[in-house]
Amino acid sequence: MSKAEDKAARTETRSTWLLSAPALVLLLFAASGPLIIMLVYSFLTPGKYGNVIWEFSPDAWIGTILSRDIFDGTYSLADAHLTIFWRSVQLSLLTTLFTFLVGFPTAWFIATRTARTRALLLFLITIPFWTNLLIRTIAINQIIRNEGLLNTALLSLGVIDEPLVIIYTNVAVFIGMTYVYLPLMVLPLFAAIDRFDMRLLEAAYDLYASRWQVLRRVILPIVKPGVIAGSILVFIPALGAYVTPRILGGGRNMMIGNFIELQFGQGRNWPLGAALSVLLLVIVTVALMFYVRAATRSDSNG
Amino acid sequence: MVYAIEARSTRKVYGSGSFAVTALDNVSIAIRKGEFFTLLGPSGCGKTTLLRMIAGFETPTSGQILLNGQDISTQPPNQRPINTVFQSYALFPHLSVRENVGFGLKMKGRPDAQIAGTVERVLSLVKLEAMADRKPQQLSGGQQQRVALARALAPEPEVLLLDEPLSALDLKLRKEMQVELKRLQLELGITFIFVTHDQEEALTMSDRIGVMSAGHLLQVGPPREIYNRPVNRFVADFIGETNFIPATIAGGVATVAGGARLAVATDAPTGDHTIAVRPEHVRIGAEGDGALPATVGESVYFGTDSHVHLTLADGTAIVARQQSDATGAGVLAEGSRVGVSFADGSVQVLED
Amino acid sequence: MAEKSFSASRIPGFATTAILVFCALYLPIVMLVLYSFNSGDSVAVWEGFSLKWYPLAWSNEQVRDVTLRSLTIALVASVVATTVATMAALGTTRRKKTKGQTLIYLMINQPLMVPEIVTAVALLIFFAAIKVATGYQGLGYLIAAHSAFCIPFAYLPIRARLEGMDKTLEVAAADLYASNWQAFRYVTLPLLLPGIVAGMMLAFVTSLDDVVITLFVKSAGQDTLPTYMLAQIRRSVPPDVNAISALLLLLTVIMLTLFFLLTRKRD
Ligand SMILES: Nc1ncnc2c1ncn2[C@@H]1O[C@H](COP(=O)(O)OP(=O)(O)OP(=O)(O)O)[C@@H](O)[C@H]1O
Ligand SMILES: [Mg+2]
């Protein structure tokens, strides 16, 4: 490389960094950087009125991870933690599964319409996607409350004599999360199906495959990247959900997000809150890595 | 003599390591002031690369680019009095035709009144006065091409670079624009460096042609010289159609298979070489009398002329171009035996 | 897909499911809007049309206060985020890959990958320390946090627009004597503008919607509209909160429609 070319290349690199610098500084200050401080706080001692005392203590981590140990003497507390973790994971997985089960036919339906209908349907999916999650949760709340629309309708139709108690149960949280995260499943699924060559289907039918075989052996493998993307996009925010379980689950049906918040409110245990957050972040990172792996693998396989 | 543009041992390598592509290899070229110079060569031979270095969009890996004798290799494009007509036109879609054409002058900080005047003048030069307020998307391909030309001409550059400017036009429009470009160049006296891979375009328009292949400049000269005196097989083959015949050269005489002897230039290299003869210089006559014996193959009728395929004694296939006559009486029967000779001075000895 | 495959568009049950999904998606929102016009304070029993909840909500000084704060934060944050995101997009798009580009992408998209609650906790801890150290309690923290998590939302449409832009245009500008700045000012920026506006609108909506991060970062008396609404929800949702929700919903729909019109022009 000549000097001039070398200089041009270096100028290019420098301008990339210079132009990105303001964004990176802001992100470092108010997004990425604090994550490291959070990690440090998870090893400190809780202060009496919140915050921390700058003394090393592994208690917070023991309070999260090693709480599984039932011979430890503190298992009453560990039980509560375990229940919350288990509920979070269970509800998130169920939400992911159910959004997929109803999201896949929906995405398929959209992808097989004519161009104009497709654009309209996509827009209709996108509106809830961008609508305030709080408002959508409120909307669901209005429907499933004891005096809500669902019960009022069922009562007046005489289907039930007493209101169905859905609100403040796990079921309510599950319904709410399915409702608010569904667009996150449909959009990537649509993107994957849209790339799918429908003539492959005809070829498969031609070879006397049954509908079920076609779905399993032809369609699913091809739209797999979309399935993975959608699952990740639903699972991650569901696992960290705060608003939906708070409004629909009430105080008794907490998820990790609410439990974390508790440590910074009544719990006054910042290190435990920090440790739980780090744990959540680790789970999410592992899930993301799984996603990247699976996505690149299905890429290289064509 | 001071040249408008000079390239001195210019090399350009893209990428590095095992991904390195040598787009230009030690190209030296000197282009005269006011000349219509054409770079001709197949796709990927480095024409655009050379043009981009003259314009300043790329810096040479080694070697220099000179403008009026001054080294401008490291000058940024906006400081070079050189403008480009891009292959894709690159018209600004958010600006009107008028604003597009006035862009260069505006960037140079010329007063508005002067810009308006120049824009009017240049637009009338390319016959687009009526379209001044349209956006580029509202113009036809040919009109967009004229806007691109007008935009590059408006700042009155010393050198105008045109990278296959006509390749997107249909044949009729293309012919029209060829004439128009030539007229403009003569009228304005600006140095044009024109890139094409269409040999006919190069031959009809240029003062001089530079033939390129695989990053090398093979031959530079006026169209006639390039056509009649190609230096090697590539140039001969790339420009027009040519018959290649193996021969042994000694003392201004080429001996071909069958023993026929042909006169060639006295300074031609001696030994075993290939000689080149254009189809229109091949004469078909009776056998004997020093002519090369040949067998007539297929004749293909092209309207004004026909191509007669012939096979020489050693199996070499050649083509002769014959004027068609109205009656078709002169059509040679397939399989008949004839004698072939070549027009005086038409036999060219190739160095490789 | 001009010629739809007969079998592809008719897998049994798919259409029914899809239609049910669309109904289920819209029924709650439509009901919410509808009952914001209910004259009674029930959200299930229709007692006649009334507009009373809207002026009632607005007459609440606290609602006005938090609305104004929400809009201020969203406006400042979206402008800041869009500015830095535009610069970053210019720095990372349509160039040869440079070292560290993956790192830049990762950092810019980080707010999308890390659960909100985790970022919220980290910010709470970090900003609490700064609050103690400096004594400053103002809106700056919220604005910084919102600006940061809005960056990817502004960045993505701008980047998409840039990538679809012909690089030769800037080369042509340089050829026509434009300096780097002039080429940006007269060619890149005007062509990029729809992307920038689209990015800014997404950033605005994102900031306006945020609950979790705001909840953790805000100091006392710094409620935004969403955190105020959240605090008002006890066993039931008050009708005035319902009315505000309906209004916010309308705002989102308007912004989104504009966004789509802006980005559609590209093709
Ligand atoms: N930016 C680049 N990076 C790497 N290689 C390049 C680059 N630009 C051109 N090349 C390579 O350099 C060689 C010459 O390219 P160039 O564009 O100059 O050819 P050209 O003669 O203009 O061809 P065409 O007639 O197709 O336009 C080609 O092999 C091309 O692949
Ligand atoms: Mg080229």
DSSP A72-94: GS-HHHHHHHHHHHHHHHHHHHH
| C40 and C120 within one domain | no
pLDDT at residue B95, rounded to an integer: 94
Residue type for position C174: A
| A107 and A6 within one domain | no
In a domain, A245, yes or no: yes
Query: For residue A3, what pLDDT band results from cuts at 50, 70 and 90?
Result: low
The boundaries of the domain holding residue C23 are: 15-50
Residue C44's contacts (CB-CB under 8 Å, 6 or more residues apart) are A142, A145, A147, A148, A149, A151, A152, C35
Threshold 0.90, pTM exceeds: no
% of chain A exceeding 90 in pLDDT: 39
C-alpha B224 chain-centroid distance: 12
Tokens of C27: 């029924």
Among B272, B291, B275, smallest CA distance to B283 is for B291
Name every chain C residue with its beta carbon within 8 A of the beta carbon of B119: none
d(CA B202, CA B205): 6
Model pLDDT for residues A218-234, shown as the tens digit of each residue: 777 778 888 888 998 89
Burial environment of residue C145 by CB neighbours within 10 A (0 to 12, 13 to 18, 19 or more):
buried
pLDDT at residue B2, rounded to an integer: 84
| A249 and A176 within one domain | yes
Q: Are C46 and C38 in contact (CB under 8 A)?
A: yes
| Four-residue CA torsion sign, A138, A139, A144, A146 | positive
pLDDT at residue A67, rounded to an integer: 55
As beta bridge partners, residue B85 has B162
d(CA C172, CA C168): 6
Query: For residue A73, what pLDDT band results from cuts at 50, 70 and 90?
Result: low
pLDDT at residue B191, rounded to an integer: 94
The boundaries of the domain holding residue A16 are: 1-29
Query: For residue A115, what pLDDT band results from cuts at 50, 70 and 90?
Result: confident
| Four-residue CA torsion sign, A270, A271, A277, A280 | negative
pLDDT at residue A2, rounded to an integer: 63
| C224 and C163 within one domain | yes
| C231 and C150 within one domain | yes
Options 3.30.70.2500, 3.40.50.410, 2.40.50.140, 3.40.50.300; CATH for B242-350 is: 2.40.50.140
CATH number of the domain within which C223 lies: 1.10.3720.10
Contact B62 A2 (CB under 8 A): yes
d(CA C74, CA B238): 65
In a domain, C19, yes or no: yes
From chain B, which residues contact C within 8 Å (Cβ)?
55-57, 76-79, 82-84, 86, 88, 90, 92-94, 103-104, 106-108, 151-152, 155
Ligand 1 atom showing the smallest separation from residue B52 Cα: 18
pLDDT at residue B53, rounded to an integer: 92
pLDDT at residue B328, rounded to an integer: 67
d(CA C166, CA B120): 28
Across the A:B interface, residue pairs with CB atoms under 8 Å apart total 14
Query: For residue A14, what pLDDT band results from cuts at 50, 70 and 90?
Result: confident
Residue C62's contacts (CB-CB under 8 Å, 6 or more residues apart) are C223, C228
Q: Alpha helix locations (H) across chain C? A: 14-35, 53-59, 61-92, 101-113, 116-134, 140-163, 168-175, 180-183, 189-209, 212-217, 225-232, 239-264
The CB of B281 under 6 Å from ligand 1? The reply is no
Q: Are B328 and B322 in contact (CB under 8 A)?
A: no
| C240 and C116 within one domain | yes
> Considering CB atoms only, which of C18, C107, C233 is closest to A27?
C107
Model pLDDT for residues C122-178, shown as the tens digit of each residue: 999 999 999 999 999 999 999 999 999 999 999 998 998 898 888 899 999 999 999
Model pLDDT for residues C181-234, shown as the tens digit of each residue: 999 999 999 999 988 998 998 899 899 989 999 999 999 899 999 999 999 887
Among C37, C77, C29, smallest CA distance to C57 is for C37
| C247 and C162 within one domain | yes
Q: So what's the ipTM on this one? A: 0.87
| A98 and A21 within one domain | no
In a domain, A130, yes or no: yes
Tokens of B22: 């040598």
Mean pLDDT of A99-112: 93
d(CA B68, CA B344): 42
d(CA B53, CA B70): 15
Counted domains in chain C: 2
The H-or-E segment that residue B7 falls in is strand B5-14
The CB of B45 under 6 Å from ligand 1? The reply is yes
Angle at A62 between CA A56 and CA A63, to 5 degrees: 110
Model pLDDT for residues C52-90, shown as the tens digit of each residue: 888 888 888 898 899 999 999 999 999 999 999 999 999
The low-confidence residues of chain B, meaning pLDDT below 70, are 328-330, 352
| A102 and A21 within one domain | no
Contact A138 C233 (CB under 8 A): yes
Mean pLDDT of A54-66: 79
Mean pLDDT of A227-252: 90
Three-class SS state of B309: strand
In a domain, C28, yes or no: yes
Residue B325's contacts (CB-CB under 8 Å, 6 or more residues apart) are none
Chain C segment 140-199 residues within 8 A of B by beta carbon are: 166, 168-169, 171-179, 182, 186-187, 190-191
CATH number of the domain within which A137 lies: 1.10.3720.10
The four Cα atoms A178, A180, A184, A186 give a dihedral, to 10 degrees, of 60
Among C100, C108, C103, smallest CA distance to C159 is for C108
Burial environment of residue C1 by CB neighbours within 10 A (0 to 12, 13 to 18, 19 or more):
middle
Three-class SS state of C223: coil
Tokens of C74: 């969203």
In a domain, A180, yes or no: yes
The CB of B47 under 6 Å from ligand 1? The reply is yes
Largest CA distance in chain C: 70
d(CA C72, CA A272): 34
In a domain, C55, yes or no: no
In a domain, C208, yes or no: yes
Residue ranges of domains in chain B:
5-228, 242-350
| C134 and C220 within one domain | yes
CATH for B5-228 is 3.40.50.300
What is the number of other CB atoms lying within 10 angstroms of the CB of residue A245? 27
Counted domains in chain A: 2
| Placement of tokens 């306006």 in the chain | C208
Burial environment of residue A155 by CB neighbours within 10 A (0 to 12, 13 to 18, 19 or more):
middle
Q: How far apart are the first and last CA of chain C?
A: 18
In a domain, A270, yes or no: yes
pLDDT at residue C267, rounded to an integer: 43
In a domain, C10, yes or no: no
